[in-house]
Amino acid sequence: MAEVNLKNLTKKYGDVVAVQDMNLKIPHNEFLVLVGPSGCGKSTTLRMIAGLEEISGGEIYIGDELVNNKDPKDRNISMVFQNYALYPHMTVEQNLGFSLKIAKVNPSEIEEKVTEAVAILGLEDLRKRKPSQLSGGQRQRVAMGRAIVRRPDAFLFDEPLSNLDAKLRTQMRTEIKKLHQKLKTTVIYVTHDQVEAMTLADRIIIMREGFIEQIGSPIEVFNNPVNVFVATFIGSPPMNVIECEVVNENNNLFIKIDKDMLMPCPPSKKDKLKKSPKVYVGIRAEDIVPSENSTDAEKKGWNFEKSIDLAEPLGTETQLFFKLNDKDVISRMYNPRVIEVGEKIKFEVDLEKIHLFDHETEKAI
Partner 1 sequence: MFITCLPGIWIFISAFRPNAEILSKPANWFPDNWTIYEFTQMFSIEGYVSVPAFDYLKNSIIISLTSTIIAITIGMMGGYAFARFNFKGKNKIFLGLMLARAVPGISLSLPLFILWAKLGLINTSFGVIIVYVAMNVPFTIWLTDGFFRQIPKEMSEVARTDGCTRLQAFWNVELPLAGPGIAAAGIFAFLLSWNEYALASVLTRTIASKTLPIGMMDYLSEFTINWAGMCAIAVVMIVPAVILTFIVQKHLVSGLTFGGVKG
Which residues are paired to 344 by β-bridges?
A: 307
Q: Which stretch binds partner 1 (CB under 8 A): 17-25, 50-58, 132-140, 210-218?
A: 50-58
- Our CB check for partner 1 shows the closer of 29 and 94 to be 94
Where are the alpha helices (H) located in the chain, listed in sequence order? 42-50, 92-102, 107-121, 136-148, 166-183, 194-200, 218-223, 228-233, 270-273
Alpha-carbon span 216 to 230, nearest angstrom: 11
Q: Is the dihedral of CA 240, 241, 243, 248 positive or negative?
A: positive
Using CB under 6 A as the binding rule, whether residue 206 contacts ligand ADP is answered as: no
Q: Which stretch binds partner 1 (CB under 8 A): 4-12, 59-67, 96-104, 242-250?
A: 96-104
Q: Which residues contact 34 (CB under 8 A, 6 or more apart)?
A: 42, 45, 46, 188, 189, 190, 191, 205, 207
Task: Single out the residue of 1, 8, 13, 102 in contact with ligand ADP (rule: CB under 6 A).
Answer: 13
In the complex, which residues of this chain contact Mg ion (CB under 5 A)? 43
Residue 161 CB, nearest approach to ligand ADP (Å): 15
Using CB under 6 A as the binding rule, whether residue 354 contacts ligand ADP is answered as: no
Q: Determine contact, residues 282/240, Cβ cutoff 8 Å.
A: yes
Using CB under 6 A as the binding rule, whether residue 238 contacts ligand ADP is answered as: no
Task: Single out the residue of 87, 174, 277, 363 in contact with partner 1 (rule: CB under 8 A).
Answer: 87
Q: Which stretch binds ligand ADP (CB under 6 A): 41-49, 56-64, 140-148, 194-202?
A: 41-49
Using CB under 6 A as the binding rule, whether residue 41 contacts ligand ADP is answered as: yes
Using CB under 6 A as the binding rule, whether residue 152 contacts ligand ADP is answered as: no
Using CB under 6 A as the binding rule, whether residue 40 contacts ligand ADP is answered as: yes
Using CB under 6 A as the binding rule, whether residue 42 contacts ligand ADP is answered as: yes
Q: Which residues contact 295 (CB under 8 A, 6 or more apart)?
A: none
Task: Single out the residue of 39, 58, 72, 137 in contact with partner 1 (rule: CB under 8 A).
Answer: 72
Residue 46 CB, nearest approach to Mg ion (Å): 8
By CB under 6 A, the residues from 43 to 82 that bind ligand ADP are: 43-44
Q: How many CA atoms lie within 13 A of 321 on its CB side?
A: 11
Q: Which residues contact 259 (CB under 8 A, 6 or more apart)?
A: 325
By CB under 6 A, the residues from 20 to 39 that bind ligand ADP are: 36, 38-39
Q: Determine contact, residues 87/108, Cβ cutoff 8 Å.
A: no
Q: Which stretch binds partner 1 (CB under 8 A): 48-56, 59-67, 106-114, 251-259?
A: 48-56
- Our CB check for Mg ion shows the closer of 37 and 313 to be 37
Residue 256 CB, nearest approach to ligand ADP (Å): 38
Cis peptide, bond prior to residue 237, ω within 30 of zero: yes
Using CB under 8 A as the binding rule, whether residue 13 contacts partner 1 is answered as: no
Phi and psi at 274, nearest 5°, equal: -50, -40
Residue 42 CB, nearest approach to Mg ion (Å): 5
Task: Single out the residue of 1, 16, 66, 103 in contact with partner 1 (rule: CB under 8 A).
Answer: 103
Residue 76 CB, nearest approach to Mg ion (Å): 23
Q: Determine contact, residues 246/255, Cβ cutoff 8 Å.
A: yes
Question: DSSP letter at 268?
Answer: G
B/e letters for 43-54, b = 16+ CB within 10 Å, e = fewer, are bbbbbbbbbebe
Specify whether the backbone of 122 is left (phi greater than 0), alpha (psi in -120 to 50) or beta.
left
Interacting residues with partner 1 (CB under 8 A): 50-52, 71-73, 75, 77-79, 81, 83, 85, 87-89, 98-99, 102-103, 146, 150, 156
